[in-house]
Amino acid sequence: MSVKSKPAVLFVCLGNICRSPLAEAAFREEAERAGLDVTIDSAGTGDWHLGHAPDKRAQAVAKRHGVDISGYRARQVTPDDFRDFTHIVALDANNFADLRALAPADASAELSLLLDHVAGREGEAVADPYYGDDAGFDVTWADVTAGARGLLDRLKG
Ligand code: 4NP
């Protein structure tokens, strides 16, 4: 049996205040509903928002869907993440490329793009809603929920 029998999933975007906290929240909901024992976290490739709570608009869309993410705090990806997590899931292609560049030689985590887990949407990005309006966060929620469901189905295998 693998030492990593329990899956551990890290969602990664740029700031860790919009998309990846929402992906974390959606995946927590799906995993809990499915009864899957899994470690879940999120992080950013950038360092601008370290220690900050999620963007108010992200908090609001999560709350509308029954999830409180006000206690989440932004952190940056570390080399240990590539050993500690079984799966690191990027929200867009830039995040994916940055993760590739950050990965230590002994990285064991499998890297993927969130929407690779949604049939017909492979290779697509979850668009960055940070500079847009509130409606963009509804799109983000729909995208991360679809990705979370697809990833969960794969992990449940
Ligand atoms: P996120 O959104 O990567 O989905 O958390 C962003 C948040 C902050 C910035 C960019 C994207 N920023 O440039 O500060």
- Residue 99 is part of a domain; what is its CATH number? 3.40.50.2300
**pLDDT number for residue 2:** 46
**Distance in angstroms between the alpha carbons of the first and the last residue of the chain:** 16
Structural domain contains residue 1: no
Report which protein residue has its CA nearest ligand 1's atom 7. Answer: 15
What's the rounded Cα separation, in Å, for the pair 113 and 95?
9
**pLDDT number for residue 157:** 78
**pLDDT number for residue 5:** 75
**pLDDT number for residue 1:** 44
Q: Is the CB of residue 62 less than 8 Å from the CB of residue 25?
A: yes
Task: Assign 46 to helix, strand or coil.
Answer: coil
The answer to whether the CB of 98 is under 6 A from ligand 1 is no
Structural domain contains residue 157: no
Structural domain contains residue 3: no
Q: pLDDT tens string for the chain (157 positions)?
A: 445 579 999 999 999 999 999 999 999 999 999 999 999 999 999 999 999 999 999 999 999 999 999 999 999 999 999 999 999 999 999 999 999 999 999 999 999 999 999 999 999 999 999 999 999 999 999 999 999 999 999 999 7
Which residues are annotated as catalytic? 13, 19, 128
User: Which token pair is 9?
Assistant: 């999933």
The answer to whether the CB of 13 is under 6 A from ligand 1 is yes
Q: Is the CB of residue 20 less than 8 Å from the CB of residue 42?
A: yes
Structural domain contains residue 2: no
Q: 50: closest CA among 77, 78, 73?
A: 73
Exposure of 140 in the CB half-sphere (CA atoms within 13 A): 30
What one-character DSSP code corresponds to residue 102? H
pTM to 2 decimals?
0.97
Report which protein residue has its CA nearest ligand 1's atom 8. Answer: 15
The number of domains in the chain is 1
Structural domain contains residue 106: yes
89 contacts: CB under 8 Å, gap ≥ 6? 9, 10, 11, 12, 23, 111, 112, 113, 114, 117, 147, 151
Range of the domain at 25: 8-152
